[in-house]
Amino acid sequence: MIALTLAEIARVTGGALRPHGAHTPDSVIDGAVDTDSRAIGPGGVFAAKPGEHTDGHLFVPAAVERGAALALVEHPVDVEVTQVVVPSVVHALADLARHVVARVRDGGALTVVGVTGSNGKTTTKNLLARILVDEGETIWPVASFNNEVGAPLTMLRVTHDTRYLVNEFGASAPGEIARLAGLVTPDIGVVLMVGMAHAGGFGGIERTVAAKSELVAAIRPGGTAVLNVDDPRVVGMAEIARNRGAEVRWFGLGASADVRAADVIVDADGTSCTVHVGPVSAPLRLRVLGEHHVMNALAAIAVATRIGVTLSACVERLGTVELAERWRMQVMGSPRVRIINDAYNASPDSMKAALRTLAQITEPGERTVAVLGAMSELGEYAEEEHDRIGLLAVRLGIQRIVIIGADARRMYLEAIAQGSWDGEAVFFADADEAFAYLRGELRDGDRVLVKSSNAAGLRHLGDRLGESFS
């Protein structure tokens, strides 16, 4: 965090300062801010956030042992450390992040980018960060730090030397993106696509569209909205951008896109295409597995070239990325049995894309194996969407369909109903049972996709399979 006095921190967060030791209101704090006491270092700020299963206030002593200079708390703690007592630690983090980003922005050349969409947020922000780090100090989220706690913690990492802040904005209910994006009023806002992810929480696809539109509505006047020209729901957000006085920059496969891809070819080692930015074109070779990552790369290129990075620099840097993020199309195992662990998250759209990738990269003589778990947060659409995935797996000719968990059973039943009845589809109640089966079933030449929502926990099954067949 940039240097702030204790008095300033208390004022910004609406808290009551309780100095300890030699600290006075004019004492300066500039350590990193975190809600995890294990991540605190000397001079750090520990935010004692109450949680569902435990209370951060219980870990203030551990944070102090690690060198915390300040604790943000909701009630005084009997520990020898300076404290700012605030009404809400979560709200205090947001207020502090807003203040810090504004200070840095006013004093330098900070460009703020926000990324949202039903799928692809984490991959896109990582690809964009890879491009921008060679241009200047760039801050972007760790893993999927995209919620009311993770996003402010990312923002609080900016310094006066930071040139680019890339934010990932996720949400499970209306209004969340508006609150997070409102902390920084992005110069550039990216909407990747609108799908069924979190549709249950939003209350339907139209409310999902409205929620993702909140990022566009938060773009600073004179900024840029980077929108997917191939998604009609995203195309409709252009009017919101123009009403904000923002430029619209399109990306996609359509001929009208400002940044587009052509001649897309997928194989087991990645994806190739030609990227066109206006009259300029360049070949791109993505080592990240999956045709759907082309759209993520196009979005990143659209942002970077808008900022002033050349297309040639963009494609060269993207070509060095081997893994977008752990558990996202992560290739494991060995050439004999290749495991694709994509079980960090799942929605109908990402599930379809992963299954299609599995089918595309499997050569004659190799066998496709799909290990699938439930998709979360679909609400009333859950049964229908799980049925569709079971049907798609059969239609793609997936040769072994392994379904895990009661919430995913509809996929198994639909696969059976659609003709995968002669042992091609199997069901297991839990990952341990499935692991035992797969250890004996998998053979040389198998290409195995492991895909589910985070809540299903299959990412750990993917790791076990990867280790077993390495």
Specify whether 52 is located in the same domain as 78.
yes
Contacts of 421 (CB under 8 A, 6+ apart): none
CA distance 399 to 371: 11
The tally of domains found in the chain comes to 3
CA distance 39 to 36: 5
Specify whether 119 is located in the same domain as 220.
yes
Specify whether 290 is located in the same domain as 339.
no
Q: Is residue 422 part of a domain?
A: yes
β-pair partners for 371: 402, 450
Domain containing 31 equals 4-88
Specify whether 166 is located in the same domain as 278.
yes
Q: Is residue 48 part of a domain?
A: yes
Q: Three-state SS across 317-379?
A: HHCCCCCCCCCCCEEEECCCCEEEEECCCCCHHHHHHHHHHHHHHCCCCCEEEEEECCCCCCH
Q: What is the pLDDT of residue 420?
A: 61
Specify whether 382 is located in the same domain as 272.
no
pLDDT per residue rounded down to tens, the chain (470 residues): 999 999 999 999 999 999 999 999 999 999 999 999 999 999 999 999 998 788 999 999 999 999 999 999 999 999 999 999 999 999 999 999 999 999 999 977 999 999 999 889 999 999 999 999 999 999 999 877 788 999 999 999 999 999 999 999 988 778 999 999 999 999 999 999 998 665 666 667 888 899 999 999 999 999 999 999 999 999 999 999 999 999 999 999 999 999 999 999 998 889 999 999 999 999 999 998 888 899 999 999 999 999 999 999 999 999 999 877 777 789 998 889 999 999 988 889 999 999 999 999 998 999 999 999 999 888 888 999 999 999 999 999 999 999 999 999 999 999 999 876 677 899 999 999 999 999 999 999 999 999 999 888 899 999 999 999 98
Per the rule left: phi > 0, alpha: psi between -120 and 50, beta: everything else, 43 is left
Specify whether 262 is located in the same domain as 163.
yes
CATH number for 179? 3.40.1190.10
Specify whether 449 is located in the same domain as 340.
yes
> Tokens 């995935």 — which residue?
389
Contacts of 206 (CB under 8 A, 6+ apart): none
Specify whether 436 is located in the same domain as 337.
yes
Specify whether 306 is located in the same domain as 196.
yes
Q: What is the pLDDT of residue 414?
A: 94
Tell me the CA distances in angstroms from 82 to 31, 41, 452, one per residue in order.
Answer: 13, 15, 44
CATH number for 386? 3.90.190.20
Specify whether 127 is located in the same domain as 260.
yes
DSSP state of 220: P
Specify whether 304 is located in the same domain as 382.
no
DSSP state of 222: T
Q: Is the separation of the CB atoms in 117 and 192 below 8 Å?
A: yes
